[in-house]
Amino acid sequence: MASEAYERIWAVVKRIPKGRVATYGQVAHVAGLGQRARQVGYALHALPDGTQLPWHRVINAQGKISLRRSGGADEQRALLEAEGVEFEGERIRLERFQWRPRKKKKRR
DNA sequence: GCGGTGACGGTCG
DNA sequence: CCGACCGCCACCG
């Protein structure tokens, strides 16, 4: 059993649409954790392997993949590109692919 | 119970 | 644009 906060974070991550990404801080805010982006990182790190949770759609505010463990970042990038997310070098084009939960209408 | 650490973020230089 | 510092707070030894 995980803490309620963890389940909350996971619930938010599940809401991220395919082909979109969200930052840790954004997830933290939507989950009602305030600016505690680090806890989001912990929550995702605590995920079991083979989870159906789209953890790969969560990146840091710089648009980069923060995984410490080698191999994971490469894996995550591959998953994102498979969904149509474009990278700009090591960074994702946040201005185009960042998820916007019921905020202003996305002009496109 | 204390202290170091961290899948982060924002600010400063 | 990039690196360094500090702040936040849960997890672990």
pLDDT at A71 over 90: no
A5 touches strand C (CB under 7 A): yes
Show which positions of strand B are touched by protein (CB under 7 A): 6-10
User: Looking at residue A9, what is its pLDDT?
Assistant: 94
Angle at A2 between CA A28 and CA A26, to 5 degrees: 10
| Distance from CA(A39) to C1'(B5), angstroms, rounded | 13
A37 touches strand C (CB under 7 A): yes
A73 — pLDDT class (breaks 50, 70, 90):
confident
Spatial contact of A25 and A35, defined as CB atoms under 8 Å apart: yes
Spatial contact of A99 and A22, defined as CB atoms under 8 Å apart: yes
User: What does the pLDDT look like over A20-60, one tens digit per residue?
Assistant: 999 999 999 999 898 899 999 999 998 888 899 999 999 99
A3 touches strand C (CB under 7 A): yes
